[in-house]
Structures are given as structure tokens and as C-alpha cells.
Amino acid sequence: MQKRFMAIWFRNLTTDWLSLRKPELRQIPFVFVAPERNRMIITAANPVAESQGVYSGMAAADAKAITTNLQILNYIPGKEARLLRQLGLWCIRYTPVVAVNLPDGLILDISGCAHLWGGERGYLKNIVNKLRASGYDTRAAIADTIGAAWAVARFGKITPIIESGRQAQTLMNLPPAALRLEAPVLEKLQKLGFSTIRSFMQIPRSVLRRRFGEAFLLRLAQALDQENEEIIPLVPPVPYVERLPCLEPIKTARGIEIAIQRLLEGLCLRLKAEGKGIRKAVLKCYRVDGKMVHTGISTNRGSHSISHIFKLLELQVSKIEPGLGIELFLLEATKVDDIDVLQEKLWAGNPGLQDSALAELLDRLAGKVGANRIHRYLPVEHYWPERSVKEAASLSEIPVTAWRTDRLRPIRLLPKPEQVEVMALLPDYPPKVFTYKGRRHAVEKADGPERIEREWWLEKGEHRDYYVVEDSDGNRYWLFRSGHYDAAPQWYLHGFFA
């Protein structure tokens, strides 16, 4: 059987993703930026920004100069790989062999699959239409080789389905960039006047090897089906699920606890053997009246401890209504983490965040008061105070930068500064009196100002002059004046000191 491949190109992968999450951004130009050699460089721009002349690789400062109302967002490292994996797993319904093609595509081995959709045309149309309907700007092509399909998906202006054996004729009129070549090789080809693949396709291999290297010849041979190209297919995650059917319907809390214990014995044994631990789990109870009730738990650190997970689920038993009885229990670990077995043994002897007892305590507290009541924060490299911290995803997340200690910072920072009324005697001096939530505070001591400039590459606005003030009751606050002093300056409270 002749091999056939489909290449899918997501032209605006990350910006389409954000537009789906925040529909209000669809009509606004926005870009993702990342630091590079002391400059903020655009890594992706949405179609509205591109229509105004903004493109990937441009400096953010230049982009702001040529467009209006440009929204600048921080690049999320690894986001493309995660998005493509999710989209690739969705595509497995069309073929069992799907591979991620970073930074913006997928490769599908569709050999023997297209006839189920009435042929390759119907197959391609079905996939592309569904991806576009979900919000992603998508192009795709089918050919005998991965290289030819990739080239036509991105540079082709003809039919996206290349007949078997005609990849050479199709590639001739495409630019050299369609061969997935490195930037230095493309620059050399441009200097030598090779504007299409046709212009060098018939040159002897020895000459091309001497000029452009072995990698150049490999890409050309792969596109022309003269060399095989291997892909690494995605492997769907194996669901961690345990089932427990009951001979007699379970109606009592004690019966439900016994069922949970047996489910955990099987599930945790499997997780332990694979070196994984539960982060989130869902218990589903199917009643004899056809209804299903469920409850869930989450942990701060992956765990396969039966006793610990049982205590968390035990707190949820009172929320389960058995009705006329439960005939089937199903426990699924919806999120798992890798666990270092050696480290797991050492936890009990280590203090701090690495102590498993602390993680288990937080899990039990979360089960009683709610997971949204417990938070851990990490520092982020931002000057603007609201952006200088982020919420950690787990206890094991490691900060990428250290907490700032060269300046005094409040122990509690408000997520959004709250306006206060003040009485200031002189410009650039702290207020003598301020009123917050209807209560008047007389300032006895003050330190400052500390000027913090706004991050101009992210947004426009005034700078802030911060003061640490202490009132007559000994309470200390972090106040700031927005912008320069004028006849009626705006003052805000932003934090509280211990």
C-alpha cells in the first residue's frame, strides 16, 4: 500500500487559542512577546495585528509605533507543544498515527483511512472544517511524503491533494523554504538566486552537498520520496480507572466506604507500579434508578497512599445520596503526577514543603473548607507589583526567580489597589491623614517615596510613588500616588505590612 500523509498547519495557533478563551480580543490587535537580547520580541501576532503590519520576530517597541491599541501579552513557554498534543489526540479519531510537528502543525499517517470518509477529499474537508469551526485557522494537504504535504499546506496555491507520484512536479514552483530548511541555508540560496525548488532540483548531488550540506540533501530527498522519514506518534493517555460492580445495591455510608477502600487498593497498586500518584480523582456512583452521583478530590502532591486518599474521599461520603442503592462504583484518577520513589521515602524526614505530612494536611483542609481557600504564591520577574507574584499550581512547583529582598514589600498585597481619600500638606510628601473604607487613619511615620515606573511594553499609564506609612494605632500600610503631584492627586492603598 502506498503511504499517504496529511500535514495540518495552524496558522495562528496560540493567538487563536487565546481568542477562544477571551472572545473580546478577537477584534483587538494583540501579540505575544518574549525577551531576547534585552529586547521584547514578538513571538506571535493575531490576524488583526498582522493586518496592521505587525509580524512575528518584530520588536515590541516597533510594533507599538506602527499600530494603535496593541495589546501585549507575555509568551507562555511550551504552550504550542501542549496545544498541539491536545489537537493531535483529538485527531486520533481519524487515524491511529498522529505526530506533533512543532511549532505549529500536525502530521497524520492516513494510509488506508480516507475511504471511511468517501475518499481523501471528503476526509480532508471533514477534518479542516471541524478544526475551523472550533476556532482555529487551519490549512491542510495530502501527499505521498511528509515533506510534500508540509510544503503544500503552507506554500501551495493549488489543490491541497497531490496525486500519488506527482510530488516532484508539485514542489518545482514552490520556494526553497517549503523544504523545511534552516535559516542560514535559505539565506545562502537567496544570495545565489535560487528562488524556486525547480532552479536547483537538477543540480548534481555532489555540488549541492558541497554548497549546502548533507541536511539540505536529506530534506530534498524526503520530500521527493527518495528517503524515508520517520515520525513519533502520539500515545493516548491510558485512563486510570477501577470498577466495582455490586451483587446487592449499596445503601449505607459504611458500604460506600468499603467500596472506596477496594477501589483504592487496585488503583493505587497500579499507580505505585508505574511511579505515579493521584492529583485529582473522581468517584462515580451509578444507582439502580439510573441516576449517577459523583464527587471528587484533589491533592497538592501526587500520592498513591491508600490511607491518605481514603481519608480525603471519606470526607465526601456524606455528600453521596445512594437513593434506592448503588449498583456500580467507578473511581478514575483524572490527573496524575510522576513520583520519585526514593524521594517519597525521604519526605517524612524533611521539613518544609517537601514534607508529605504538610501536603496531606493541606489536602484534608481543602476537603473541608474547599480547595479554592488555600493558595501558594511564587515570585515573577515584573516591576509592576500586581504582576510580581503568581499562584503556584502545586507544592512542588519551583520558582524561576528569587523573592525581591532589596526593597520593603507588604506581607499582604491587594490584587487591585483600592482608592483612598488623603490629606497631603506638600507635594511629593506622604499624606498626613487617609481614609480607607470609612475609617480615618492619622499618619505618624512614613518612609518614601519609591517610584515604580509602569512597564511601557505591556501598557500605557502613569508611574506610581509608593510610601510606607504607619498610623497612630501602629498599623502599617503601603500607599501610592498615581502620577505626578497635581491639584487633586489620586491615592491608593495597595498592601498591608505585619
Average confidence score pLDDT of the chain? 88
Predicted pLDDT of residue 345: 45
Cα–Cα distance measured from residue 393 to residue 378, given in angstroms and rounded to the nearest whole number: 10
Is the predicted pLDDT of residue 413 greater than 80, yes or no? yes
For residue 391, the model assigns a pLDDT of: 78
CB neighbours of residue 370 within 10 Å: 9
Mean pLDDT of all residues in 17-34: 93
Helices 79-91, 13-21: inter-axial angle, 10-degree rounding: 80
Q: Pick from 15, 20, 86: which is nearest to 48 by CA?
A: 15
* pLDDT confidence of residue 71: 92
- CB contact set of 393 (below 8 Å; sequence gap of 6+): none
Task: Indicate the DSSP class of residue 24.
Answer: G
Find the range with the poorest average confidence among 143-147, 202-206, 352-356.
352-356
How confident is the model at residue 326, as a pLDDT? 94
Nearest to 131 by CA among 286, 297, 16: 16
Residues of the chain with CATH 3.30.1490.100: 240-369
Handedness of CA 314, 315, 316, 318 (dihedral sign): positive
Q: Report the pLDDT value the prediction gives residue 342, as an integer from 0 to 100.
A: 45
Lowest mean pLDDT among 2-16, 245-259, 299-313: 299-313
Least confident of 145-149, 391-395, 452-456: 391-395
Strand partners, 242: 331
Task: Specify the pLDDT at position 462.
Answer: 87
Q: How confident is the model at residue 399 (pLDDT cuts 50, 70, 90)?
A: confident
Mean pLDDT of 106-125: 94
Q: How far is CA 99 from CA 5, 214, 226, 427, in A?
A: 11, 25, 21, 63
Sheet strands side by side (includes 292-303): 240-250, 326-338, 276-287, 292-303
pLDDT value of position 102? 92
- Provide the percentage of residues in the chain whose pLDDT is more than 90: 56
pLDDT, tens digit, for every residue of 240-280? 999 999 989 999 999 999 999 999 999 999 998 888 899 89
The vertex-467 CA angle with 404 and 381, nearest 5°, equals 25
Residues 316, 283: contact at Cβ < 8 Å? yes
Going along 380-432, which residue ranges are E strands? 389-391, 412-423
Within 318-460, residue ranges assigned H as helices are 341-346, 356-369
Average pLDDT over residues 173-190: 92
Q: Do strands 476-482 and 412-423 pair parallel, antiparallel, or not at all (unpaired)? A: unpaired
Report the range of poorest mean pLDDT among 228-237, 248-257, 299-308, 336-345. Answer: 336-345
Q: Which three cell numbers stand for residue 408?
A: 520593603
pLDDT tens readout for residues 456-493: 777 788 889 999 999 988 999 999 998 887 767 889 99
Q: What is the distance between the alpha carbons of residues 71 and 304, in angstroms, rounded to a whole number?
A: 44
Q: Which of 101-105, 140-144, 284-288, 348-352 has the lowest mean pLDDT?
A: 348-352
pLDDT tens readout for residues 368-387: 767 677 777 888 878 788 88
Residue positions counted in the chain: 498
- Ordered DSSP codes for 123-147: HHHHHHHHHHHTT--EEEEEESSHH
pLDDT of residue 487: 64
The count of other CB atoms within 10 Å of the CB of residue 433 is 14
Q: Whose grid coordinates read 498610623?
A: 471
C-alpha cell recorded at residue 167: 510530488
Mapped onto helix, strand or coil, the DSSP state of residue 174 is coil
Least Cα distance to 457 among 403, 392, 387, 390 occurs for 387
Neighbours of 402 (CB within 10 A): 8
Tell me what pLDDT residue 344 has: 45
Does residue 356 carry a pLDDT above 90?
no
Judging by DSSP bridges, how do beta strands 71-74 and 30-36 pair with one another?
parallel
The whole-model pTM stands at 0.61
Rounded Cα gap, residues 2 and 190, in angstroms: 35
Give CA–CA dist 122/119, Å, rounded: 6
Please give the average per-residue pLDDT across 35-44, as a whole number: 91
pLDDT of 311-352, one tens digit each? Answer: 889 888 988 999 899 999 999 999 988 876 544 444 444 445
> What distance in Å separates the CA atoms of residue 399 and residue 9, rounded to the nearest whole number?
34
Superfamily designation of domain 240-369:
DNA polymerase, Y-family, little finger domain (3.30.1490.100)
